Amino acid sequence: MKKLSTSQIATIDQQHIWHPYSSLTNPFPAYQVDSADGVRLKLADGRELIDGMASWWCVIHGYNHPTLNAALQAQAEQMAHVMFGGIVHEPAARLAQTLVEITPDGLEKVFFSDSGSVSVEVAMKMAIQYWQSLGVQGKTRLLSLRNGYHGDTFGAMSVCDPVTGMHHLFSNILMPQIFSDSPQCTFNTEWDESFISDFEEKIATHSHELAAVILEPVVQGAGGMRFYSPHFLKRVRELCDDHNVLLIADEIATGFGRTGKLFACEWAGISPDILCLGKALTGGYMTLAATLCTQQVSDGICQGEAGVFMHGPTFMGNPLACAVANASIELLLASDWRARIATIQQQLESGLAPARELPNVADVRVLGAIGVIEMKEPIELARIQKEFVDQGVWIRPFGKLVYVMPPYIMGQHDLATLCDVMVSVVKNYR
Ligand SMILES: *Cc1c(COP(=O)(O)O)cnc(C)c1O
């Protein structure tokens, strides 16, 4: 097959292809990537970019990793896919066992699906089916936090921040959920019970109709890149128990070490009833997600009228994806990831600190391998993106947020360049 030329690709792209959150009448330019290796994206025009995004939290070990390549190749020769109805295989069994072992205590049952949003749909359905099976009427709604992000399918969308999720566009279709204020504390703020008061009021008022609380533990990602006190999460767990409401932790972004703990729930020492995983699960190689739940939840669901959990994606437990996930987790656990993340955190803190003084910057914050510069005004994406590319880095801001979450393997020198470019582009941006 003859490869398309650069200009052919650009034309097809402009005429036919949707990109995330994009317009087709007024499309942004898309940069053509030919290949990627380590922490570098190689553009079709020959330029190389240091990748600050890890392809949206996923590529924790870097691109073109020999171990992950080998796992994928070996599995492809064995079997790329087989249906999961009535069939099980080694890669899925190994992955389920590993996830049960490494996630917070009590999460014992694993449901595999194809993407983060679907794992959230599955989690919501589990919670609702749980109460229904127990014969408890009316517990069908969810309580979530403002500034939250849980995905783009309809169920997931209904629990995303109503403003950034543009709920008004779908107001007649979305399931009406309950929202509490997002935590008004930072990660390090000394705890004050007033931080939880709005949440406490909402859960107390609505517990009779709540199947579950859903939140992103400690780090709210795409809804604002906010970090909040683990004590908030601890109080949420207590209040869920007090009011007989399940807790769903969406660790799709935070899982696998990103915040400095293997899972962000560990900051608060809590276990959710249901846990969503995705993004870094396969080291960024394949799309795969998992929803874990406790035996209490699975027993509840299966004792009901249906007797089964009503979900079953075509590509459930895809062997290629499971095999590369197994290799990625093994690689992570065998590495000194805690020290790596701590080093990246220190370097992000010192490297981004100069931005604090800039007149157009509202806040600079770092947690684990996540570095955020929050601007005072929204950014013009296409313009700032080009400046970053011209200076050799890949950073994709949204709203007022210029942020990075680099692959864990990024060396000191590349990370310094990433921080320097981030600060200088922000400084000159007006
Ligand atoms: C990305 C993300 C999702 C959605 O995952 P997709 O794979 O994009 O469907 C859900 N929740 C959180 C916290 C995320 O960061």
Residues 78 and 193 in one domain: yes
CA 37 to ligand 1 center in whole angstroms: 24
Count of domains observed in the chain: 2
State the Cα–Cα distance between residues 137 and 245, nearest whole angstrom: 13
The pTM score is 0.98
* 56-110 residue pLDDT tens: 999 999 999 999 999 999 999 999 999 999 999 999 999 999 999 999 999 999 9
Predicted confidence at residue 165, as pLDDT, reads: 84
Could you say which residues of the chain have pLDDT below 50?
A: none
* 183-198 residue pLDDT tens: 999 999 999 999 999 9
Predicted confidence at residue 242, as pLDDT, reads: 98
Predicted confidence at residue 187, as pLDDT, reads: 98
Residue type, 191: W
Three-state secondary structure string covering 249-268 = EECCCCCCCCCCCCCHHHHC
Label residue 347 left, alpha or beta by phi (over 0 means left) and psi (-120 to 50 means alpha).
alpha
Predicted confidence at residue 171, as pLDDT, reads: 83
Predicted confidence at residue 49, as pLDDT, reads: 98
Buried b / exposed e along 319-340 (16+ C-beta atoms within 10 A) = bbbbbbbbbbbebbeeeebeeb
Tell me which residue has tokens 């330029």: 47
Predicted confidence at residue 337, as pLDDT, reads: 98
Predicted confidence at residue 95, as pLDDT, reads: 98
Q: Which of 190, 260, 252, 176 is nearest to 221 (CA)?
A: 252
User: In a mutational test of the pocket of ligand 1, which residue from 216, 218, 279 has the highest number of ligand atoms less than 8 Å from its CB?
Assistant: 279
Tell me which residue has tokens 């064995």: 78
Measured from CB, residues less than 6 Å from any atom of ligand 1 are 115-117, 120, 149-151, 216, 221-222, 250, 252-253, 278-279
Predicted confidence at residue 179, as pLDDT, reads: 98
**Known active-site residue 21:** yes
Is residue 294 helix, strand or coil? strand
| DSSP run (H or E) holding 116 | helix 116-133
Residues 122 and 212 in one domain: yes
Residues 231 and 308 in one domain: yes
Whether residue 1 is contained in a domain is answered as no
State the Cα–Cα distance between residues 308 and 200, nearest whole angstrom: 33
Residues 78 and 26 in one domain: no
Residues 25 and 146 in one domain: no
Residues 150 and 299 in one domain: yes
Predicted confidence at residue 28, as pLDDT, reads: 83
**Domain termination residue (choose one: 292, 315, 334):** 334
**Known active-site residue 228:** no
Strand order in the sheet with 289-294: 107-113, 289-294, 274-277, 246-250, 210-215, 141-145, 178-180
**Known active-site residue 250:** yes
